[in-house]
Amino acid sequence: MTTRSRSKGTVSRRDFSVGAGSTALLFTAGVPAKGAQEQGLDERFDYLSRNGNSNCSVAFADSIASMPTMARLRGSCCSEMDRKRYAEQVRGLTRYAAIPEIPPDPYDIAAGLAQKAMSYYERTLTADQQRAYQYAMDKSEEKGPAAASAGAGSCMAAWRNS
């Protein structure tokens, strides 16, 4: 095996390329600025508010059970989406990112997650669970289960009581 001797201060082409590439990545692929995150939220809001596919009908609620699990429930079913509130909700949900049952976006839910949430509707709550549930409903701005369950707008109460 032969080794080349380099004079002090020289760098191989490979080492230079790796270093330059790493430096470029550090400066270009960092964490997006808050402005970019806000723009992403605005774009998602625009898309979801214009392309929602959910509604408040019992027929729609019943159809969720037969949807492919990867289908999406998008938009708000009973009222128009509010841009400021949407951003607050999405930001607030980041605290629960480690819990797979809590969607990162309350207006873009996988049908499989909605199916799982709806499977709990018939369960009887203990007295302590009922108090916790009622507390969550009373404290939510929406005053309904959508604020504390797997999204799909504020119609969950209508579906549950139908």
In tens, the pLDDT along 11-37 reads 455 544 444 444 333 333 333 434 446
pTM: 0.62
Tell me the pLDDT band of 38, cut-offs 50, 70 and 90: low
Q: How far apart are CA 78 and CA 137, in angstroms?
A: 17
pLDDT at 147 over 60: no
Q: Are 142 and 154 in contact (CB under 8 A)?
A: yes
Q: Are 78 and 56 in contact (CB under 8 A)?
A: yes
Q: How far apart are CA 84 and CA 61, in angstroms?
A: 27
Please list the residues that pair with 73 across neighbouring strands: 109
| Residue of 32 and 109 predicted with greater confidence | 109
Q: Are 107 and 48 in contact (CB under 8 A)?
A: yes
Q: How far apart are CA 87 and CA 132, in angstroms?
A: 26
- Give the best-scoring range by mean pLDDT among 31-35, 110-114, 116-120, 133-137: 110-114
- The helix (run of H) or strand (run of E) holding residue 110 is strand 108-110
Paired tokens of 38: 């806000």
For residue range 41-76, what is the model confidence (pLDDT) as tens digits? 999 999 999 999 988 888 998 999 999 999 999 999
Please list, in sequence order, all residues whose beta carbon lies within 8 angstroms of the beta carbon of residue 89, skipping any fewer than 6 positions away.
106
Tell me the pLDDT band of 85, cut-offs 50, 70 and 90: very high
Q: How far apart are CA 47 and CA 70, in angstroms?
A: 18
How many C-beta atoms surround the C-beta of residue 118 within 10 A?
Answer: 19
pLDDT at residue number 132: 92
| Percentage of the residues of the chain whose pLDDT score is greater than 70 | 63
